[in-house]
Structure 1
C-alpha cells in the first residue's frame, strides 16, 4: 500500500468512523493522462459507508469527503472518484 493511499484511509477513518472503507489506487488505468504521476498514487476511488452521511445529500457527502482530504487534493491526488453511502444504503 502506498503512502498517499494510507493517508487518505487514515483521514477518512478519523473523520467519519466508517462501517466500511475501501481506498483503491486507480492510477495505473490513467497512465499517460493528465495528472498521472510516475509511480502512481494520483487517481483514487473511495468507497465509504458511514452513519455520518445519513440524511445528507450526495453533494453534502462529497463536500465532507473533499474537506477531509483537502491537503491531498491540493497536492498529490489529481482525481478522486467516490461512492459515499450511509449504512442503510449498504
Structure 2
C-alpha cells in the first residue's frame, strides 16, 4: 500500500468524510532541504467531515495529525490541510 493510500484509508476510517482529496505533491519539492527524495513526502489534503463541527482550525488539524501519526513520524515531511464541515464546504 502506498503512503497516499494509507492516508486515504486512515482518514476515511477516522472521519467518515463527505469529501476527501489526497494529492501527492512530492514532485514539487524534489531537491529541497527537507525532502527525503522518496516521492511520498509532501501531501495536500482536503477533507470535509461533520466530525469537525464545533472544532476550531487547530483542533481539526490535531485530529487529522493524530490519525496520521505513523505517517508524520516517518515518510511524510509536510502535510497541507484544508479541514471543513459540510456546511462550510457548501458555502
TM range (shorter): over 0.9
Cα drift, residue 37 of structure 1: 3.1
SS at match of 1:23: strand
- The corresponding residue for 1:67 is 66
Corresponding residue SS for 2:79: strand
Aligned length: 89
RMSD between superposed Cα atoms in Å: 1.1
* Separation in 1, partners of 2:4, 2:36: 14
> Counterparts of 2:33 and 2:71 in 1: how far apart (Å)?
17
Partner Cα distance (2:13, 2:33) in 1: 30
Q: Distance in 2 between matches of 1:49 and 1:19?
A: 5
For normalisation by structure 2, the TM-score amounts to: 0.93
The superposition leaves residues 53-75 of structure 1 with CA deviations (integer Å, 9 ceiling, x where unpaired) of: 01110000000000000000000
TM-score (norm 1): 0.94
The answer to whether the 8 A contact 1:22-1:48 is kept is yes
Once the two structures are superposed, residues 6-64 of structure 1 have per-residue CA deviations (whole angstroms, 9 ceiling, x without a partner) of 00000000000000000000101101012323341100000000000011100000000
Runs of 4+ in structure 1 deviating by more than 4 angstroms, as ranges, are none
